[in-house]
Amino acid sequence: MVSAVPAVVIAAASSGSGKTTIATGLMGALRAAGRRVAPFKVGPDYIDPGYHALAAGRVGRNLDPVLVGAHRIGPLYAHGSHGADIAVIEGVMGLFDGRIVEEPAAAADPIAAGSTAEVAVALGAPVVMVVDGTGQGQSVAAMLHGFCTYDPRVRICGVILNRVGSPRHEQVLRQACERVGLPVFGAIRRDDQLSVPARHLGLVPAAESGGPARAAVEAMSRSVAAGVDLDALVRVAAATEPAAGVAPWTPADEVGEPAPGRPLVAVAGGRAFTFGYAEHPELLAAAGAQVVTFDPLSDRLPEHTSAMIIGGGFPEEHAAELSANTALRRDVVALAAAGAPIVGECAGLLYLARELDGHQMTGVLPVDGRFSPRLTLGYRDAVASTGSPFHDIGDRVVGHEFHRSVVVAAGGGDTGTCAQPRGDIAPAWTWRRVDPVTGARSTVDDGVVIGSVHASYLHLHPASTPRAVRRLVAAAARWADAAEIDRRPVGDTMTRR
């Protein structure tokens, strides 16, 4: 059992209020003040944790009750905050916004599943509201009163004012907060330097932005350090309650006995494939894998790769460079043809396709990818439609979609977000969709399973599917044995026997 690491949850009334700016700046300011900060993000967001990591000097992690189950939030928090003095948890959307449910009975609880409020209650952590002062004055008091009284399980303990226009504006907003008994921990003035590079799916990942991302994080940290009472926030964080005594999540306990021989699992990274959860490489290693990251923009597959994982990212922004790395594309085709286990999620699905927006990809899958103006976004209760080295038919998972692309069957018409079964390929997942206007229900197929390749748009959190991680590594070990791969640790000379 472990003691609770103090935490503060940074929330707001809505998206766009500046949570990322304030939370990231707070992480950086606390770190500069000598604190060991554990950064967290509520929800499935892959991008904000990259900025958190820059600010905190420690890997950013997600807390998503929908993807991993509410029972895992405390253990994952204990795991991710181990060794820290304080945790800063950035919320998602508005404080009480979460998964949208279609059944009225499921919406009876005022705290929505996956919401910032659910995570704050689960951890017993105090909430600080970020108030966007743009166009607001005394009415802020009514808004805050509503949030404070909506559900007594959520402990809102103060406010940080953001985008304040002038000293007079700040005074008006402070008076509004005083009317509802909420202390103001600080105020941040409007500042264009605090903006972060953005594009069609939100912020540009820190790993892609490079210098501009670092500059933005440094500006956020300086601004928060100058405008916020850090000592007062540390005292508030000390009020974190029920997380004490929660056993931390442990990768080794989740996957059990490691596979023999330490097969090499290559994980795509670099600027084109930045989406991933921190727990994934931890689980792979615990399951017995050597985990090696490679950059599809410039690298070849690591020698003696026995399995490959290509996660999410923005391949459409780098399609020409990905296509130009013909040596890697040949490596991937050869690996798939040899029957090694391969997993693609979203961007990985597109890279395994024949082409993406006219740029040649690997061609492992008989589908083509296209950028689309339509955003596909949301949680999915999915069922495995086809058996694979990773999932049995009928396995149930909760995943998340987030993309502006579609794939179409090679030589065929647009099939929406997935390739229809054709020949020896079959869909990876099936789920039910409810039309938000008519209420009509339909079935959606997503992804492709062909041989030992499993690819789809669905993002899964590996902490919720440790069995699939264990199966992947075990399949890699079996394949390596069959292919007579010499699996000495990376760094030694490695050759086929």
In this predicted structure, what is the pLDDT of residue 439? Answer: 79
Domains and CATH numbers, the chain: 7-237 (3.40.50.300), 251-482 (3.40.50.880)
Nearest in space to 42 (alpha carbons), one of 91, 109, 75: 91
Nearest in space to 427 (alpha carbons), one of 452, 407, 411, 450: 450
pTM of structure: 0.92
Within 352-408, where are the H helices?
Answer: none
In this predicted structure, what is the pLDDT of residue 167? Answer: 95
In this predicted structure, what is the pLDDT of residue 362? Answer: 97
Alpha-carbon span 454 to 451, nearest angstrom: 8
In this predicted structure, what is the pLDDT of residue 175? Answer: 97
Token look-up 């929800």 returns 43
In this predicted structure, what is the pLDDT of residue 415? Answer: 40
Catalytic residue among 148, 177, 346, 418: 346
- Burial of 360 per CB tally in 10 Å (0-12, 13-18, 19+): middle
In this predicted structure, what is the pLDDT of residue 243? Answer: 54
CB contact at 8 A, 91 and 12: yes
Alpha-carbon span 14 to 93, nearest angstrom: 5
Would you give per-residue pLDDT tens digits along the chain (497 residues)? 345 899 999 999 999 999 999 999 999 999 999 999 999 999 999 889 999 999 999 999 999 999 999 999 999 999 999 999 999 999 999 999 999 876 655 557 889 999 999 999 999 999 999 999 999 999 999 999 999 999 999 999 999 999 999 999 999 999 999 999 999 999 999 877 666 665 444 567 777 667 888 998 999 999 999 999 999 999 999 987 655 568 999 999 999 999 999 999 999 999 999 999 999 999 999 999 999 999 999 999 999 999 999 999 989 889 999 999 999 999 999 999 999 999 999 999 999 999 999 999 999 999 999 988 888 889 999 999 999 999 999 999 999 999 989 998 875 544 444 433 344 578 999 999 887 778 788 999 999 999 999 999 999 999 999 999 999 999 999 999 998 765 455 443 333 33
In this predicted structure, what is the pLDDT of residue 244? Answer: 56
**Residues in a beta bridge with 406:** 370
In the chain, how long is the greatest CA-to-CA distance? Answer: 76
Residue 377, CB-side half-sphere exposure with 13 Å CA sphere: 12
Q: Is 346 designated active site?
A: yes
Give every CB contact of residue 315 below 8 A, 6+ residues apart in sequence: 272, 273, 322, 347, 350, 351, 356, 369
Alpha-carbon span 489 to 261, nearest angstrom: 10
